[in-house]
A and B are shown apart, each in its own frame.
Chain A
């Protein structure tokens, strides 16, 4: 009970209730299937729920309407006007009769090949969701679909818990900082959309935040460093994380690097470092190995199917041609679209975004000011050995490296695998592995520029901003899908 109280204090409990209410609202407002790749993710869940075995992606993929999904899922998508909404931006208006048909029990063919473009993902997210699918097995597909969405909503609550506790470690004596960090994480519009959808990115965010919390504890708690169960827990987390999405590889590698580096700086013996490293890596490898073998057997890769093979000019060397490709024209526009628009609010298949550029320009302004603040803060610490606020400088430095490394990692992945599909494969939300560090850095950067007295005011201001941003984004969805614009 004491542990639970310590882990979920009253403010966090209220935030969790708020996130639950928000998640259910978003899950029911977004029309089924309209989140990125949602039908494909749901079909993976359905395959596991029906066949009790992993689907295998074939080399050849047919057109989406024909063989991607089960007969039942295709019928369902047609009944809810999925393709019309996605392709023609029309509105979701159903008659009472059409709606009632969705809830009639119809025996439809649920089995199929399981072959679609997300089939190559590891199954870490899909297993628990397929259990929820089975709970509603005898219900119409629409209820199984919403059950899957609600599983995501439930999972996303852990993201909020971790973000709260990470923030508490970064500024231990602030009672408002953890609140605003968890609000900024849970209410971020794109996070809200993903965490209310059937999408493995939900659990990717949870495990990234969870592993970050593990790292933060390792770096700040002396008892934790010497506790073998704690270190083994980190290894188990890494193994499970890798079973969710290959992007977690960056988080795992970064944590391993920081752990070794930190122990080396703290003058630990080589034996201790090796021991800690092996306690981390052994459970991770053991947990991940069976998927690695499966993946290697079917896809000749340890990390699942890589959807596309790189092409593009190699006349001047791969790197030079890649750099010229992404920087030669619209370089700033590309950065703006990927890291501002797609990261913060370009919702669903339709990339529904705000008409006013001022919203995105404000975000750019905040990022810019925050970066300056971070530079000022680090310079102040270098010169005077202290800051104007009680920020844990080690964690701050680690987070800066974490975010920069993550951006670099995503570009490397694009360079290596997705050059062919430039403009589509590197999406802003892939940086959600760093969502908590990014929010923390944004807030701390601005904190460095203002007096201590106003830090709580700043937290309240950012809380209001993110609440308004979330509600406005919900309004965008209502406008785009239902034709209801509240002015």
Chain B
């Protein structure tokens, strides 16, 4: 019995070490404020020669994804879309990302996420995204537009260099993967809790885990008894 208990403890120890060494945590931050709405309408087919531009002001300190609400007219469109992201430095626009996408597999009426290089110190900085396609009417996709008055400072949409009222629904995301660090997890899951409540949360979670082991121990012990 003693040997069994020691073995169980060693196994638990090994499992814990492996867990802490190999577990990674993905942290996500997401901007909001320019979401889909009932008053949306499509921008029209994005055919060759059409240039869609949307300027926006970043509300995240860092971001590495831009998601736009697109539509495919409920079909597969065999065409390409070039996505370019500019960042404003002083008075100039600096190109930070450019990639061409095959849009045939895009989902209808859904956000498409463009993975871009990590933009650091982006809070309050102006960015501009540009979309150009090589499509014809019958294989073009489109973007939804929410027709709403918004300050140019926050977001400004233009089609072929002509400003349009509203915006294409979008959000920015910052996602990064790190090794498990308990204090970082605790800090990032604090939410609306005060320090005291946060401590209570952590203590009760630890108790929860300890008591799980206690109850499992009781169950395992009962294996030796006959029903």
Contacts and interface: CB of A to CB of B under 8 A. Distances in A.
Interface stretch (A274-282, A286-294, A320-328, A476-484): A476-484
B203 to A, nearest CB: 8
A11 B215 contact: yes
B192 A94 contact: yes
A487 B24 CA distance: 6
A362 to B, nearest CB: 20
B227 A483 contact: no
A467 B188 CA distance: 24
A65 interface: no
Interface stretch (A81-89, A246-254, A258-266, A416-424): A81-89
Contact of B218 (A21, A80, A179): A179
A180 B211 CA distance: 14
Contacts of A31: 191-192
A173 B227 contact: yes
A485 B215 CA distance: 27
A15 interface: yes
Nearest to A15: B215
B31 A28 contact: no
B27 A484 contact: yes
Contact of B25 (A24, A92, A487): A487
Contact of A175 (B35, B189, B222): B222
Contacts of A146: 197
A80 B193 CA distance: 10
Contacts of A174: 227
Interface string A89-124: 111111000010011000000000000000000000
Contact of B189 (A22, A176, A459, A482): A482
A456 B212 CA distance: 17
Contacts of A21: 204-205, 207-208, 211
A374 to B, nearest CB: 20
A245 interface: no
Given A88-B32, A486-B180, A14 B201 contact: no
Contacts, number: 129
B21 interface: no
Contacts of A487: 23-26
A103 B194 contact: yes
A76 to B, nearest CB: 10
Contacts of B33: 88
Interface in A285-329: none
A28 B201 contact: yes
Contacts of B205: 21, 25
Nearest to A10: B218
A94 B220 contact: no
Contacts of B30: 89-91, 483
A457 B220 CA distance: 9
- Contact residues on B (Cβ < 8 Å of other chain), bracket: 35 or more
Nearest to A33: B192
A394 interface: no
Contacts of B27: 483-485
B191 A481 contact: yes
Interface in A4-34: 11, 14-15, 17-18, 20-22, 24-25, 28-29, 31-32
A482 B190 CA distance: 8
B10 interface: no
A486 B189 contact: no
A373 B96 CA distance: 62
Nearest to B28: A483
B9 interface: no
A272 interface: no
B25 A484 contact: yes
B208 A18 contact: yes
Contacts of B211: 14, 17-18, 21
A28 B204 contact: yes
A479 B27 CA distance: 8
Nearest to B204: A24
Contact of A460 (B35, B220, B225, B227): B220
Contacts of B8: none
A19 to B, nearest CB: 9
B16 interface: no
A439 interface: no
Contact of B208 (A25, A179, A183, A455): A25
Contacts of A483: 27-30, 188
A21 B159 CA distance: 56
Q: In this complex, which of A174, A175, A452 has the most chain B Cβ atoms within 10 angstroms of its Cβ?
A: A175
Contacts of A84: 32
Nearest to A102: B192
Nearest to B224: A456
Contacts of B218: 11, 14, 179
Interface in B165-221: 171, 180, 185, 188-194, 197-198, 200-201, 204-205, 207-208, 211-212, 214-216, 218-220
B223 interface: yes
Contact of A463 (B24, B28, B215): B215
A22 B197 CA distance: 15
B219 A463 contact: yes
A24 B200 contact: yes
Contact of A94 (B31, B191, B204, B215): B191
A482 B222 contact: no
A190 to B, nearest CB: 18
A464 interface: yes
26 contacts: A14-B215, A17-B207, A21-B204, A21-B205, A21-B208, A22-B204, A25-B204, A89-B30, A92-B192, A99-B190, A174-B227, A175-B225, A179-B218, A183-B215, A455-B227, A459-B219, A467-B212, A482-B188, A483-B27, A483-B188, A484-B27, A484-B185, A485-B25, A486-B23, A487-B23, A487-B25
In the A-B complex, the 5 residue pairs with the closest CB atoms: A483-B28, A18-B211, A28-B201, A24-B204, A21-B207
Given A481-B191, A484-B27, A485-B28, 4 more contacts: A14-B211, A20-B204, A94-B192, A183-B215
